[in-house]
Amino acid sequence: MPRSTWLVEPLRGAHDREGFSCGDATLDRYLKEQASRDLRRGCATPFVLLPGANQNAILGYYTLSSYGIDAGELPPDVAGKLPRYPLIPATLLGRLAVDKRHQGEGIGEFLLMDALHRSLAQSFRIAAAAVVVEAIDDRAAQFYRHFGFTPFPSSGGRLFILTKTVNALFP
C-alpha cells in the first residue's frame, strides 16, 4: 500500500465501513454503527485513512473530541506545573484502529501522528493542555507508551501526552 497516496478524511457516507475489520469487535462495531451518530450529535469527529483519493476502503480510523481532565488524576509533578483549575482542557483520542490486513505497515503510527498534529493545530484556537487516549487493552496501552504517552496513575487504560510534548514532535 503506497504511503505517498494515503489520505485522511473526516468520515462520510461513501466510505466502506462494512469492509473494515481490525480484530477487535468493539472497535469494528463502533465504526459501523456508532461513529456517524457520534458525529451528528457532536460527541466525536471520526477520521478515516483511505488508500488514495476517490477510494473508499478504510485502512484505519480515529476519533477526536473535546475533553476535560480532572486535575487530581494527573501525576503530582505534572499537575504542579499547571494552573489549579479543577478541569484541565484536553483533546480525547477516543478510538484508533487499523484494518488487520494492514497492521504492521506503519498505518497506526501515521494515524497517531495525524491525530496529534490535528489536535495540536486545534489547540491554537481552542486551548488543550494534553491529548488523552483510551486504550482498549494492555497491548493498545503499549502502543501509546511506545510513542511517549504516560498512563494516568489511577487508571491503566487511559494515558496522556502534554501538548507541549506534541509541539516538540512537529518543529
**Applying CB under 6 A, which residues contact ligand COA?**
22-24, 27, 95-98, 103-109, 135-136, 139-140, 142-143, 146
Integer CA distances (angstroms), 126 to 48, 138, 147, in order:
23, 31, 24
Contact 135, 159 (CB under 8 A): yes
Name which of 28 and 130 has its Cβ closer to ligand COA: 28
* 74 vs 115, beta carbon nearer ligand COA: 115
Q: Which residues contact 6 (CB under 8 A, 6 or more apart)?
A: 49, 50, 51, 52, 59, 107, 110
DSSP string, 69-129: EEGGGS-HHHHTTS---SEEEEEEEEEEEE-GGGTTSSHHHHHHHHHHHHHHHHHTTS--S
Least separation in angstroms between CB 5 and ligand COA:
17
Residue 18 or 124 having the CB closest to ligand COA: 18
Least distance to ligand COA from the beta carbon of 147, Å?
A: 7
Q: From the CB of 78, what's the least distance to ligand COA, in Å? A: 22
Closest separation in Å from C-beta 12 to ligand COA: 21
Residue given cell 479543577 in the structure block? 86
Task: Specify the residue, 6 or 13, whose C-beta has the smaller distance to ligand COA.
Answer: 6
